Chain A
Amino acid sequence: EAGVAQSPRYKIIEKRQSVAFWCNPISGHATLYWYQQILGQGPKLLIQFQNNGVVDDSQLPKDRFSAERLKGVDSTLKIQPAKLEDSAVYLCASSSLVRDTQYFGPGTRLTVL
């Protein structure tokens, strides 16, 4: 069974530019999560989707971050405009409705210069 796929793996941009990350969850997993992991810290949830609806986006900085999961499968996370403090690894995870253990993708390492 294929795991969670993410792209790109690495991205370097300058501040005030925009960037987008893509995630494809494990087949059949209804729930998808985006996490931000700053160096030296544990992952922190940005947004959770169940199918194509948002369950929790309370920690998403909505003035610059947006996410969508239009068809209830893959998802895109966007940052516009990026700030220096957005430098982090962005992790995508998915889980099934039957057993909500989260399985993670390899992450996208973002560097904002």
Chain B
Amino acid sequence: AQKVTQAQTEISVVEKEDVTLDCVYETRDTTYYLFWYKQPPSGELVFLIRRNSFDEQNEISGRYSWNFQKSTSSFNFTITASQVVDSAVYFCALKRGANNLFFGTGTRLTVIP
């Protein structure tokens, strides 16, 4: 069985604040992949990052950073100095082997100017 939990349904922050989106996953597989996607109001899912289960290095890309901790089965996403353009629904997803993506329910982020 697999499960992806994004407990935060909605988050609102004021522009320039930092915000962390939580993702907790469940899987019995030792090899798996984790993803984050952004879905702006236009509706298209935009790929942000892919991480495999053997690579626990944190990653930073501009204002975005990701913290992967196998010990707590978490793959959290932090946006530093948030901007209005960051307003979107963010999805965490799990892929086991050749199986397809299993998405969480998403977190709606609103950045208030």
**Which residues from chain A sit less than 8 Å from chain B, CB to CB?**
33, 40-45, 48, 56, 89, 91, 93, 100-107, 109
Contact = CB atoms under 8 A, between A and B. Distances in A.
Contact of B105 (A42, A56, A100, A105): A42
Interface of B: 4, 35, 37, 42-47, 50, 91, 93, 95, 100-101, 103-106
A44 B50 contact: no
A107 B46 CA distance: 12
Given A42-B104, A42-B106, A102 B44 contact: no
A48 B43 CA distance: 21
Contact of B47 (A33, A56, A91, A101): A101
10 contacts: A41-B106, A42-B4, A42-B91, A42-B105, A45-B101, A48-B100, A93-B45, A104-B45, A106-B42, A106-B43
